[in-house]
């Protein structure tokens, strides 16, 4: 079999997905046997003009991580789409917006103000903000335009497969590599993880107990055997796709939903609101008020990784 | 809980109503729906830009 | 004046772009490093519970 051509790219991301690819350790040698890497900015010295020069559909597989929040990222996404036969939305940022999509609770103007003007580490008395075009004595400099909304890869271009996770686990990456090696890719549109919820693969004891209080993670040391949600901790397991092997809950840390909504769930946060509402013991208005007060940051917790694919997608700017 | 979350998304709490109406209370049901419709209409459309690039 | 653009800067996490301007003699007249990316952790961490930050800020850089 001829060697596959593989491209990897990071948009609005942290580089953790790229490192996750290396976490497969010696199996990376199998990848090297299977494929030639033609673009991977974090590891190899290819430039955008190299990719531009490639013929359409000449890349067999592109693993694209990171969300889309600037004109450059959208441009590269479109370019890699046209150069690639198979485009994989790799990691939670590309699939659901991820942590960068928490920015959808703010606006571009607020982010600019905070980062470039208010930040105590910045001295910017003229309140200069990044511009898409700047004239300097030697010529002109350009920068991409920052978008107001953080988008997923699939909201910008068609995508063949989704590999969730922050970052995707070694097992899932190997699943992708094996599917490529044996030419046994699933039907287009598939998410390479479990179709069920995280609860389905969690070993903790569920006693169908009601809760009378929501605890913040620093307030209690949870019992390592019992369901975290039933102990009053906000665990996103019931509204989250499985496939990670329950890594966080195994170390007594509640799930934050990085695998996104499970198959058939339209809105991850709404699903969790209904889970909590159904197990919180309330005997009247006072209890409901108490529950709402104990819940410090519903939007930032329930859509920690999934803001871009939620029903509302962003905070709605107030009319002025 | 939903109200608190919607507030974080910048959605006016007047856009959400929770009421219990019995199947026998036809008139009450109609008037609640009409009132809610009027209330939301008065608030006007959301200034909601979900796919676009500029806010 | 000639311009050399290095885009993207590779083998690191994060996005960077260098524009180098050469004068008529071919020497470097000036060079600009630009960062074409901003995610806004400075802003969107505001309003998050403090005990959740250890699970948010590691995503500033995962390398």
What is the pLDDT tens value at each position of chain A, 320 positions in all? 689 999 999 999 999 999 999 999 999 999 999 999 999 999 999 999 999 999 999 999 999 999 999 999 999 999 999 999 999 999 999 999 999 999 999 999 999 999 999 999 999 999 999 999 999 999 999 999 999 999 999 999 999 999 999 999 999 999 999 999 899 999 999 999 999 999 999 999 999 889 999 999 999 999 999 999 999 999 999 999 999 999 999 999 999 999 999 999 999 999 999 999 999 998 889 999 999 999 999 999 999 999 999 999 999 877 65
Q: Residues B6, A267: contact at Cβ < 8 Å? A: no
Helix/strand/coil for A107: coil
Beta-sheet strand order (sheet of C2-6):
C2-6, C17-22, C28-34
Nearest C-alpha neighbor of A278 from the set B1, B4, B3, B21: B1
CB-CB contact of A210 with A165 (8 Å): no
Structure-block tokens of residue A53: 């020069």
Helix (H/G/I), strand (E/B), else coil: A291: helix
Check if A316 contacts B (Cβ < 8 Å): yes
Cα separation, C9 vs A42, in Å, equals: 9
**pLDDT reported for residue B55:** 42
A139 touches chain C (CB under 8 A): yes
- State the count of interchain CB pairs (< 8 A) between A and C: 128
Distance CA A77, CA A60 (A): 15
Q: Which residue of A has its CA nearest to B2?
A: A273
Q: Which residue of C has its CA nearest to A116?
A: C42
Q: How far is B21 from chain A (nearest CA, A)?
A: 18
Closest chain B residue to the Cα of A310, Cα to Cα: B50
Range C45-52 contact pairs with CB under 8 angstroms and sequence separation of 24 or more: C46/A106, C46/A114, C47/A105, C47/A297, C47/A300, C47/B8, C48/A102, C48/A297, C48/A300, C49/A216, C49/A296, C49/A297, C49/A300, C49/A301, C51/A216, C51/A217, C51/A218, C52/A217, C52/A297, C52/A300, C52/A301, C52/A304
Q: Are strands A161-163 and C17-22 parallel, antiparallel or unpaired?
A: unpaired
Of the partner residues A15, A114, A138, the one whose CB lies closest to the CB of residue C63: A15
Cα A226 to Cα A72, A231, A240, A254, C52: the distances in Å are 47, 7, 18, 12, 22
Tell me the count of A-B CB pairs closer than 8 A. Answer: 68
- Structure token digits, residue B46: 């959301």
CATH architecture of the domain covering A4-99+149-181: 3-Layer(aba) Sandwich (3.40)
In chain A, whose CA is at the least distance from the CA of C44? Answer: A103
Domain borders along chain A are 4-99+149-181, 109-147, 198-309
Neighbours of chain A (3+ CB pairs under 8 A): B, C
Task: Report CA torsion sign: A62, A66, A72, A78.
Answer: positive
Among candidate residues A25, A49, A27, the one with its CA nearest the CA of residue A39 = A49
Reduce the secondary structure of chain C to three states and give it as a string. Answer: CEEEEECCCCCCCCCCEEEEEECCCCCEEEEEEECCCCCCHHHHCCCCCHHHHHHCHHHHCCC
pLDDT in tens, C15-57: 999 999 999 999 999 999 999 999 999 999 999 999 999 999 9
Is any Cβ of chain C less than 8 angstroms from the Cβ of A26?
A: no
ipTM for this prediction: 0.93
The pair of structure tokens assigned to A179 is: 């599917």
Q: Hey, how many other C-beta atoms are within 10 angstroms of the C-beta on A152?
A: 26
């Amino acid at each position: 079999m001829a060697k596959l051509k593989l491209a990897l790219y990071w948009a609005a991301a942290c580089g953790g997905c790229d490192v996750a690819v290396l976490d497969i350790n010696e199996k990376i040698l199998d990848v090297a046997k299977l494929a030639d890497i033609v673009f991977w900015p974090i590891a190899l010295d290819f430039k955008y003009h190299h990719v531009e020069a490639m013929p359409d559909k000449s890349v067999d597989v592109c693993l694209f991580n990171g969300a889309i929040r600037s004109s450059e990222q959208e441009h590269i996404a479109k370019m890699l789409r046209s150069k690639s036969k198979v485009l994989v939305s790799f990691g939670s940022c590309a699939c659901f917006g991820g942590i960068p999509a928490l920015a959808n609770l703010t606006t571009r103007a607020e982010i600019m103000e905070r980062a470039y003007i208010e930040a105590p580490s910045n001295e910017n008395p003229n309140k200069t903000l990044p511009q898409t075009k700047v004239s300097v004595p030697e010529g002109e400099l350009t920068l991409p335009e920052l978008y107001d909304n953080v988008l997923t890869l699939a909201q910008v271009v068609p995508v063949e497969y989704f590999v969730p996770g922050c970052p995707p686990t070694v097992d899932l990456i190997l699943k992708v590599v094996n599917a490529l090696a044996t030419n046994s890719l699933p039907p287009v549109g598939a998410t390479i993880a479990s179709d069920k919820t995280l609860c389905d693969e969690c070993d903790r004891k569920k006693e169908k107990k009601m809760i009378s209080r929501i605890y913040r993670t620093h307030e209690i040391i949870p019992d390592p055997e019992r369901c975290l949600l039933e102990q009053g901790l906000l665990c996103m397991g019931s509204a989250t796709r499985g496939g990670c092997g329950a890594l966080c809950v195994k170390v007594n840390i509640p799930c934050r939903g990085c695998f996104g909504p499970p198959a058939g769930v339209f809105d991850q946060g709404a699903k969790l609101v209904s889970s909590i509402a159904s197990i919180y013991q309330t005997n009247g208005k006072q209890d409901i008020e108490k529950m709402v007060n104990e819940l410090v940051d519903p939007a930032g917790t329930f859509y920690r990784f999934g803001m871009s694919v939620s029903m509302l997608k962003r905070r709605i700017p107030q009319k002025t | 809980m939903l109200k608190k979350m919607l507030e974080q998304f910048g959605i006016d709490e007047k856009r959400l109503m929770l009421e219990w109406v019995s199947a026998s209370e036809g008139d009450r049901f109609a008037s609640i729906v009409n009132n809610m419709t009027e209330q939301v209409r008065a608030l006007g459309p959301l200034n909601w830009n979900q796919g676009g690039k500029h806010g | 004046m000639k311009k050399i653009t290095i885009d993207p800067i590779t083998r690191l996490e994060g996005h960077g772009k260098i524009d180098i301007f050469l004068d008529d003699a071919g020497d470097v007249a000036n060079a600009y490093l630009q960062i074409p990316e901003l995610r806004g952790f400075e802003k969107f961490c505001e309003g998050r519970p403090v005990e959740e930050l250890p699970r948010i800020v590691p995503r500033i850089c995962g390398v």
